[in-house]
Chain A
């Protein structure tokens, strides 16, 4: 009797002791996510590690968003996928242990993918498979969206545009979106910044042109009643492309410093043991870099170590952002972002403040699902190896920031992306 009683209790206990917790179901609210259109540039295309790849496209934030939208009525999401994975048009960046020509030891470095490219057929048109939901075009500026004929001159739009005569904005709305995301304007400032400011062959877009283009793009997107979300331009100078190399980029031993000081003809410079500010060419001015100025990640560091860049020869201005140029970048960016904010408000669409979000990743960093994301190159997890475009996990965080804003603005309950599902930076 007693035994039976205990066994009954034990049996009921076994079922009662399983937690009965269920996650709350996501909801679209007032949104129709059946046809989601992503408009943008390299960030939206899934550009990562300095190149576009099929894997990178699959890890684009619009594709991640589409996956979450799929839980609440979202439809198919077509991307103009590349055939290859090693980079197009240039090889992607990877980490490798390498010894530079003037290094005493091999160390972990960012290098071009050393294997053969698999970009054959990458330039073929796949427009016949369209229209596409992700219409991002790496390299495009906001102002280009209203330039008729632009499509033919960009290798990425040439792959999937059905016609080239019209304006890109007319071409990208082919799927007749019920919901859209638009993240444009990055290249209008990056073209200037990543090429060293005034040395860049591509200056800033004019503010009036930018405003007109932005307004046309948004008007076109909402024309048939689609709802959407716009992203503004990140705080570009907090990206590792601008911050990873220290301003005192020249490292000298005592002996190297003494030798340089003995032969050096530039009276304004005296080198010391340890880190030194480099000599640069600012316009036609030969001078030392000063605190607060930036050495760009594009700088061929072996030329500094072996060929006397920054010591015997000035570092060309295309690898430097001077204080004046940084100020110009920030001022222009603020004007563009004011336009984006005003336009999205006027058109009554959600706006994600990526400027502030990217900044918050830089200072103080963002912990998410056990990873502390920072703006450090390589080990910061947020950025890919090119120092500008996020990694797959970085894009997942971007997607989550967008979802947060969509939910806030439209009252939907779309669930967030599991960033840990995506790969991190891969070490040899």
Chain B
């Protein structure tokens, strides 16, 4: 084994080890816990940086640990895994800062940060899994480590949300497990292979492969919040804001969407999937989700619920891009993996700031907020406009490629879906911005936290910096989309490899 084969393992350990140590700490060891957290996040960030550089230069990073005869725990860094791992690592770093500030003074912080680190470990495992078995293991691990975070507050509402979350994700995982086991009996170890590995079995196992595909998509669709399997997500918004960020942008829904991408591109292969005819139903399901999520978001007054439904809608852009097929749409779908993450985490950070600083949870309480918290509100506005798809923000680039990709394939109906989605996004985000910037404040804020009085900043700096950074990134990745270091540039690279161009 050379250093390249240790690299993926190190990246996993950089959050696993701090996480395990944090469990053993007492509540009072705040400084040590913070140091461990930040050290883990920083080391992971550096390692991922090295990894990206290496993958760009064609290095192979692979860790293989035998589990059973002919079954390996396989970590492998290809261009696609680096996309997801990079996103998770950067956002985890920011979320850690945010969570430290957010949970200041609350109880059970060791438990929280312990699971927090495990959760990210699982996510990185998912991104770098080299075969379906490894993917499945980390996928289940993610379910289990997220549960304690969802119920962190311990209220009856939180416990109920946790139950629903478990019911959905565990049964989804079970279905996925069945499908993977079945597929293994047909096709062996299921290494993820660019351009797919199943086309040779197409002749003999057509019906089996179609059924397995359906089972896999439904299993993964739970986490990716495809309608009608999305109902756990809006319930889970009772969790603290950093957990919401984790659920919506960094880990959980992304894991589902990423899984769909893996199955379509690296297990079935996009051309083979097209040939089987399984992509069209997936596209329909994604389109339905996009519209349904937006319609639900339209009638929410609770800000976090609104954002949750917006996630339901936006994450399906990824599935849609995957399902339309063709390089251009693929670029749109994959790049949205990153873009949606940046925009949505910005919005959740901001929602958390409003709640923590002024006790604002509802849209109807946001009148005049732009004057009181201009920086947070500016970040929120960038995130919201990005979601609508206003150029030059991140969401626009995704939408542009999705729309163009659909037209390249002659699928006008997808453009209609995108147009509808844009209108609906505008219909639920613009009124929020209108309230905050153009209406005067009505009465005192619901619950203004007094310790921030007299501070020059509008809120605690640890809460303020992360949304500003992600908002700047939302602008940057769109404005500088054509530069070689942008997510778009990286996604083009992936796409060329997936299509063997």
**Do A and B share a complex?**
no
Which A residues contact B (CB, under 8 angstroms)? none
